[in-house]
Amino acid sequence: MQKFFLYARKSTDVEDKQVLSIEAQLTELRDYAKRENLNIAFEFIEKQSAKVPGRPIFNKLLNE
């Protein structure tokens, strides 16, 4: 059986610049996974900009 992961990221602490909060992202991702009957193995949450290389949580996701 395939396993799927959810990944939510918040790149800034400035609320005006962040379109969706992490919880809102996860809600949308969970709803999608449920509609598509996907088996979610784990949820990854990261609070770091994509500008800077070496995001530890994203790298962990890639190694799963």
Has this prediction a pTM greater than 0.85? Answer: no
- Give strand pairing partners of 42: 5
Separation between Cα atoms, residue 27 and residue 31, nearest integer Å: 6
Q: Which residue has the tokens 């991702």?
A: 29
DSSP secondary structure string for all residues of 14-60: -GGG-SS-HHHHHHHHHHHHHHTT--EEEEEEE-S-SSSS--HHHHH
Per residue in 2-61, pLDDT tens?
Answer: 889 999 988 766 555 556 788 999 999 999 999 999 999 999 998 876 677 778 887 787
Handedness of CA 40, 24, 56, 52 (dihedral sign): positive
At 10 the pLDDT is: 83
